């Protein structure tokens, strides 16, 4: 039986030993503790032209994406926000071949500054993470909580005039077999959300209900497979289920927040319950 114990929250700002350098060292040892996915340390205390030093530069292990991380003990303030954005801007201009995201870490991100940061989110890719140090016996535990995530952006052409095509276009670009597989996926969706239909666009096959686009999932028919992209927040649980199912899982699309599956003939019927579960989760989560 689990025993309840009361832990002590440590104020790192006023602690005699556990200072900002200590926190930076712990994150540098294992950057994945921030919850940004499989990221590795690229650099630390990185010199910025006429602008000080960037605490940590992290890079996605499997993608051209970098995170400019700034750490502050205690409450965040205006200077911290400005410095975080300034370093992000310098790095993205120096290395435009990467996709850059600013990350602000502080012990206390107040509601006032959360509102200020929120004004930038959408125009600037920005993540705010609150850190708590908890002492239990002679051990210290770090807890990182994302209080402001990078705004999920819709597909560009969801807000622009779409170039509408038809089923024949996709049967030629893919094949009649793979477009029929998209029909199977649509039937799974209709089993828990009646009224959806396919909408054929030049770059993907989307979803619509009552004539309005609702692309919680999109499909791309290829010659021998269908790329199914499901909008869901990345999680170890979902990844584990996909791995156990033996499906062909492509890299998670962090920019758009989508799991990407390459489905071949037989995958849909063989993994019907799992695929339907993910589609249903996506449909419901995008309505909250």
Beta-strand ranges (E) seen in the chain are 8-10, 39-47, 53-60, 65-75, 99-108, 126-136, 139-148, 196-200, 205-209, 212-213, 217-221, 226-231, 248-249, 258-263
The dihedral over CA atoms of 74, 80, 85, 90, expressed in degrees to the nearest 10, equals: -110
Cα 9-142-12 angle, rounded to 5 deg: 50
Q: What is the pLDDT of residue 158?
A: 47
Tell me, what's the pLDDT at 161?
A: 43
Query: Which domains are seen in the chain, by residue range?
Result: 8-148 (3.40.1350.10), 156-285 (3.90.1150.200)
pLDDT, averaged in runs of 10, over the chain (288 residues)? 81 88 93 89 87 90 85 88 91 89 91 76 84 88 88 48 78 94 96 94 90 92 94 92 92 86 93 96 79
Q: What is residue 121's predicted lDDT score, i.e. its pLDDT?
A: 62
Global confidence as pTM: 0.56
Nearest to 70 by CA among 79, 80, 61: 80
């Amino acid at each position: 039986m689990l025993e309840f114990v009361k832990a002590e929250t440590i104020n790192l700002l006023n602690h005699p030993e556990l200072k900002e350098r200590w926190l930076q060292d712990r994150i540098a040892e294992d950057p994945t503790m921030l919850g940004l996915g499989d990221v590795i340390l690229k650099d630390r205390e990185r010199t910025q032209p006429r602008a000080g030093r960037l605490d940590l530069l992290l890079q996605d292990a499997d993608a051209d994406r970098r995170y400019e991380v700034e750490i502050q003990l205690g409450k965040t303030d205006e200077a911290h926000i400005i410095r975080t954005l300034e370093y992000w801007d310098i790095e993205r201009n120096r290395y435009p071949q990467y996709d850059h995201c600013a990350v602000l870490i502080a012990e206390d991100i107040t509601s006032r500054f959360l509102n200020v940061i929120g004004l930038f989110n959408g125009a600037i890719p920005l993540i705010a993470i609150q850190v708590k140090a908890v002492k239990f016996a002679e051990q210290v535990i770090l807890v990182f909580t994302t209080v402001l995530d990078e705004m999920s952006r819709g597909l560009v052409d969801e807000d622009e005039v779409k170039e509408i095509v038809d089923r024949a276009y996709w049967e030629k670009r893919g094949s009649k077999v793979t477009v029929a597989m998209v029909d199977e996926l649509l039937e799974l969706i209709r089993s828990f959300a009646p009224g959806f239909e396919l909408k054929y666009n030049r770059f993907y096959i989307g979803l619509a209900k009552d004539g309005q686009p609702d692309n919680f999932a999109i499909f791309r028919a290829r010659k021998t497979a269908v790329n199914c992209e499901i909008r869901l927040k990345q999680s170890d649980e979902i990844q584990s289920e996909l791995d156990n199912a033996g499906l062909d899982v492509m890299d998670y699309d962090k920019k758009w927040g989508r799991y990407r599956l390459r489905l071949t003939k037989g995958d849909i019927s063989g993994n019907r319950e799992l695929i339907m579960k993910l589609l249903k989760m996506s449909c419901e989560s995008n309505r909250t």
